[in-house]
């Protein structure tokens, strides 16, 4: 798989309207996506000593850790308000190859940093709330 430019990986946040529109928060410099699957242990005496798991009955958690640069002051204000308000918002993560990860997220951690070549940076952890979609690029 060819490498992709981080500046082309965009984070967008929805405005909650119907139809919902998404505003670009900024470009990500680093991204880490973690999917945790927690299957249910269904082992019984009839399992002959082997552990049995029910994957579909378990819990799946998705967490995204991002560091990036704000697009502008309005983007910083939007993200900050969402963090302080502890609200669930719809986000989109757009990858350079056209992949899109979209879901409702809560901001678990938020950090605003100083200037990088005249731009403010951010670091945040998004924790998925409910289901989401992953659409492969075309």
pLDDT score recorded for residue 124: 94
Segment holding 123, helix H or strand E: strand 119-135
Question: CB within 8 A of 110, min separation 6: which ones?
Answer: 79, 80, 83, 122, 123, 124, 125
CA dihedral 22, 23, 27, 31 (to 10 degrees): -40
Domain of 111 in residue numbering reads as: 6-135
Strand ranges for 10-116 from DSSP E: 10-14, 22-41, 53-70, 88-94, 100-116
Classify residue 14: in a domain, yes or no. yes
Classify residue 117: in a domain, yes or no. yes
Q: Domain containing 10 — which CATH number?
A: 4.10.410.40
Q: How many domains, in total, are found in the chain?
A: 1
Tokens of 16: 């909650």
| pLDDT tens sequence across 18-77 | 999 999 998 888 889 999 999 999 999 999 989 999 988 889 999 999 998 888 888 889
Classify residue 1: in a domain, yes or no. no
Segment holding 132, helix H or strand E: strand 119-135
| pLDDT tens sequence across 85-133 | 999 999 999 998 899 999 999 999 999 987 657 678 899 999 999 999 9
Classify residue 33: in a domain, yes or no. yes
pLDDT score recorded for residue 6: 52
């Amino acid at each position: 798989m060819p490498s992709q430019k981080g500046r082309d990986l965009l984070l967008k946040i929805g405005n909650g309207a119907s139809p919902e529109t998404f505003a670009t928060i900024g470009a990500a410099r680093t991204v880490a996506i973690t999917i945790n699957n927690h299957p249910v242990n269904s082992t019984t005496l009839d399992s002959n000593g082997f552990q049995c798991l029910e994957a579909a009955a378990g819990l799946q958690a998705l967490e995204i850790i991002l560091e990036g640069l704000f697009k502008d002051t309005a983007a910083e204000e939007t993200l900050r308000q969402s963090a302080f308000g502890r609200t669930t918002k719809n986000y989109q993560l757009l990858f350079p190859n056209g992949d899109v990860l979209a879901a409702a997220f809560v901001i678990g951690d938020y950090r605003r940093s100083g200037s990088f070549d005249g731009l403010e940076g951010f670091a945040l952890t998004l924790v998925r709330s409910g289901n989401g979609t992953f659409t492969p690029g075309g």
